[in-house]
């Protein structure tokens, strides 16, 4: 079975796959039956180039980069890598919460430039504590639940809505920190609209480790420019492009979509990808079909 991958994935499991062709898909291939992608777009134009394709194995839990409807119509299965990246993404979420609420990046910048905050009695360099504050989790799936667990260890009160069910507007107005954990779908695109962002209380922090498109990015920039709220963002609408206005703001912490980026997690993700491809080759049920 011919397998095509855009790049080699990390971890020992990769070697179990045997002969894999690495490279870009830029011509019609009638021999490719399995395609391994890591954020690469798979749409009608790609599917047209691969008439024998049977599987798209996506390296990640999110699969908004894959046209699942088009794949299904052509009898092409789609798999992802759920479960193994929950802890890593929850850890990064909480790192962004702490970094933003305690202004860690600003403090690091001050020290590196040879400056110092003013005296203890007059210091304007004040962050916000977590104990006793309220975390609002939007999307109480595996990752959202892991974030909620960590929040309780910091003596935070936790509110949640599951996907878009429940009173989201009420949660936004009650939380000191709002953390997003919903997939990017037709229903969740722009979920945090300009109107909903306005519901965040003054001094609140928005953390997004889900997908950039869940938030109205220009509206978020406006709220951050006003200084009314802060944010910790690992995802953006048009990655790898990050709006210059965001990069210039001191009240937002930015990371380059690294929610799953630990050695252990990425190796475990590779393991699932390989198990799905090998299952297809053996005619066995796929491990994690979408």
Known catalytic membership, residue 211: yes
Known catalytic membership, residue 264: no
Active-site annotation holder among 211, 223, 266, 275: 211
Active-site annotation holder among 163, 257, 266, 271: 257
Q: For the packed helices 86-101 and 142-153, what is the interaxial angle rounded to 10 degrees?
A: 50
Are 224 and 252 within 8 A, CB to CB?
yes
Cα 184 to Cα 203: distance, rounded to the nearest angstrom: 27
Are 221 and 245 within 8 A, CB to CB?
yes
Known catalytic membership, residue 275: no
Q: Is 255 exposed, middle or buried (0-12, 13-18, 19+ CB in 10 A)?
A: middle
How many other C-beta atoms lie within 10 A of the C-beta of residue 45? 11
How many other C-beta atoms lie within 10 A of the C-beta of residue 31? 11
Q: Where are the alpha helices (DSSP H) in 175-285?
A: 194-197, 217-226, 244-247, 263-282
Are 49 and 25 within 8 A, CB to CB?
yes
Three-state DSSP class for 15? helix
Active-site annotation holder among 195, 239, 264, 284: 239
Structure tokens at 150: 């960590």
Q: Is 113 exposed, middle or buried (0-12, 13-18, 19+ CB in 10 A)?
A: exposed
Q: Are strands 21-22 and 55-58 parallel, antiparallel or unpaired?
A: unpaired
First to last CA, the chain: 21
Indicate which residues carry an active-site annotation. Answer: 211, 239, 257
């Amino acid at each position: 079975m011919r397998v095509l991958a855009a790049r080699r994935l990390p971890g020992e499991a990769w070697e179990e796959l045997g002969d894999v062709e690495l490279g870009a898909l830029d011509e019609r291939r009638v021999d490719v039956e399995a395609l391994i992608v890591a954020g690469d777009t798979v749409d009608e134009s790609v599917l047209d180039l691969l008439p024998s394709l049977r599987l798209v194995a996506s390296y990640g839990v999110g699969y908004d980069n894959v046209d699942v409807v088009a794949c299904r119509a052509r009898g092409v299965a789609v798999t992802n890598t759920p479960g193994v990246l929950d802890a890593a993404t929850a850890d990064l979420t909480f790192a962004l919460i702490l970094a933003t609420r305690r202004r860690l990046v600003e403090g690091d910048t001050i020290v590196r430039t040879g400056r110092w905050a003013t005296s203890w009695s007059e210091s304007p360099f004040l962050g916000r504590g977590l104990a006793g504050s309220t975390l609002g989790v939007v999307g109480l799936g595996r990752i959202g639940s892991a974030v909620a667990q960590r929040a309780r260890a910091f003596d935070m009160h936790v509110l949640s809505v599951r996907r878009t069910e429940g009173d989201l507007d009420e949660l936004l107005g009650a939380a000191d920190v709002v953390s997003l954990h919903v997939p990017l779908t037709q229903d969740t695109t722009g979920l945090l609209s300009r109107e909903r962002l306005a519901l965040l209380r003054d001094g609140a922090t928005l953390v997004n480790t889900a997908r950039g498109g869940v938030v109205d990015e220009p509206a978020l920039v406006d709220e951050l420019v006003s200084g009314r709220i802060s944010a910790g963002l690992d995802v953006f609408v048009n990655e790898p492009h990050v709006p210059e206005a965001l990069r210039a703001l001191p009240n937002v912490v930015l990371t380059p979509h690294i929610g799953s980026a630990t050695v252990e997690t990425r190796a475990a993700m590779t393991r699932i990808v390989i198990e799905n491809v090998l299952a297809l080759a053996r005619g066995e049920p796929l491990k994690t079909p979408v």
